[in-house]
């Protein structure tokens, strides 16, 4: 009787454990089949999305996938256990193992816009671009020590910019963009390295003052350029006037030379005419010849005045006999000048 009871209990245990294994295996197979095949054929829902999630799938099949440029944080009963590299890993949930989350190792960028005041009391908006990434060998620090990485970085950027810019004027701030970027990068590198993050690059992409300030700066620049243009224009006019005066002086000089030569030619011609007339006409004197030449010149002048329709001349009482008086006055003036010398 005792042997029969032991055989019956042993048989029941085998059936129990066999049934448990069948149920366990069926659950795994059914979950895998639904997640991998059936869920792809039906419309998506929140439940299907949760089932397809790596963490749910890992808890179900004890297998998880970690993508490239990503690490996963594994916990054992809520305590940090290990950092999982990219690939496939076994996370047996039945032993209290689970994934706390994933951490990207890719370079990320955070744009921070900070409003501050310069030394000359001008409000400006400084836009900084921070490029950072988590370090694989400090993934646990990056995952657990900071709850909001972007807010932490933004606070440090605000602190550095608002401490640097008020020490410089607006023009100096534009010129020292690189110095601002270096100061921000050094402060962030020192602070974020303790949390498992590396600052790859810090850029000051824009410094934007108030719209009225920009308009005033443009007007100042335009006024300076107008002043420079006026100076250059005045200098050009000065050079032009100098060249014109030099040309006029040269023209008058050459005109004077021409008039002098003309008068010399007239004198030479008159002298030859007087000598020739005195030789060919006996009994005439040089005075008679000069009087005749003056009368001839007088009538030639009257002819030229009358021939031009645009000439303006003022006539005073005179006659041909006045030529002798003019000649006498000229001769008397020349004789008086010779006597005084």
- Mean per-residue pLDDT for 150-159? 92
Alpha helices (H) along the chain: 2-33, 39-41, 46-52, 54-61, 139-144, 149-164, 170-175, 177-192, 211-280, 286-307, 322-340
Question: Regarding predicted confidence, which is higher, 114 or 327?
Answer: 114
**Number of neighbouring beta carbons within 10 Å of residue 197:** 24
pLDDT band at 323 (very low <50, low <70, confident <90, very high): low
Say if residues 183 and 95 touch (Cβ distance below 8 Å): no
- Mean per-residue pLDDT for 221-247? 86
pLDDT band at 34 (very low <50, low <70, confident <90, very high): low
In whole angstroms, what separates CA 177 from the centre of its chain? 13
Question: Regarding predicted confidence, which is higher, 305 or 109?
Answer: 109
- Mean per-residue pLDDT for 183-207? 91
Distance CA 337, CA 334 (A): 5
Helix and strand totals (H; E) in the chain: 11, 8
Say if residues 144 and 194 touch (Cβ distance below 8 Å): no
Q: Is residue 46 pLDDT above 70, yes or no?
A: no
pTM assigned to the model: 0.52
Distance CA 111, CA 187 (A): 17
Show the tokens assigned to 167: 């020490």
Kindly report which listed range (21-30, 137-146, 278-287, 313-322) carries the lowest average pLDDT score. 313-322
Distance CA 68, CA 136 (A): 12
Cα–Cα–Cα angle for 287, 289, 291, rounded to 5 degrees: 70
Show the tokens assigned to 230: 């006026």
Q: Mean pLDDT over all residues of the chain? A: 77
Q: Is residue 52 pLDDT above 70, yes or no?
A: no
Kindly report which listed range (20-24, 155-159, 260-264, 268-272) carries the lowest average pLDDT score. 20-24
Distance CA 178, CA 228 (A): 31
Show the tokens assigned to 131: 């490029």
Distance CA 242, CA 255 (A): 19
- Mean per-residue pLDDT for 121-140? 91
Distance CA 63, CA 92 (A): 8
């Amino acid at each position: 009787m005792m042997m029969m009871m032991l055989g019956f209990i042993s048989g029941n245990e085998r059936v129990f454990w066999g049934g448990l294994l069948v149920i366990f295996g069926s659950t795994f197979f059914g979950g895998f089949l639904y997640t991998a095949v059936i869920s792809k054929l039906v419309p998506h829902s929140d439940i299907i999305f949760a089932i397809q999630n790596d963490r749910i799938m890992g808890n179900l099949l004890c297998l998880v996938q970690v993508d490239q440029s990503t690490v996963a944080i594994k916990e054992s009963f809520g305590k940090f256990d290990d950092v999982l590299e990219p690939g496939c890993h076994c996370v047996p949930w039945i032993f209290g193992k689970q994934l706390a989350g994933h951490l990207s190792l890719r370079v990320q960028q955070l744009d921070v816009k900070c409003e501050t005041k310069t030394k000359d009391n001008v409000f400006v908006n400084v836009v900084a671009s921070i490029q950072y990434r988590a370090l694989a060998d400090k993934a646990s620090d990056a995952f657990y020590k900071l709850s909001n990485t972007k807010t932490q970085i933004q606070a440090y950027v605000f602190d550095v910019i608002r401490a640097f810019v008020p020490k410089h004027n607006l023009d100096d701030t534009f010129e020292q963009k690189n110095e601002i970027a270096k100061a921000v990068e050094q402060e962030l590198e020192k602070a974020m390295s303790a949390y498992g993050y590396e600052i790859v690059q810090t850029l000051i992409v824009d410094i934007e003052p108030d719209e009225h300030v920009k308009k005033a700066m443009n007007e100042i620049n335009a006024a300076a350029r107008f002043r420079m243009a006026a100076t250059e224009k005045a200098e050009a006019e000065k050079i032009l006037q100098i060249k014109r005066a030099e040309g006029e002086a040269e023209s008058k000089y050459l005109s004077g030379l021409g008039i002098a030569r003309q008068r010399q030619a007239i004198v030479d011609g008159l002298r030859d005419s007087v000598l020739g007339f005195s030789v060919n006409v006996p009994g005439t004197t040089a005075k008679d010849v000069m009087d005749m030449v003056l009368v001839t010149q007088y009538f030639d002048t009257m002819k030229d005045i009358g021939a031009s329709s645009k000439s303006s001349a003022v006539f005073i009482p005179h006659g041909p006999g006045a030529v002798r008086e003019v000649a006498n006055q000229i001769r008397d003036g020349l004789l008086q000048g010779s006597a005084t010398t």
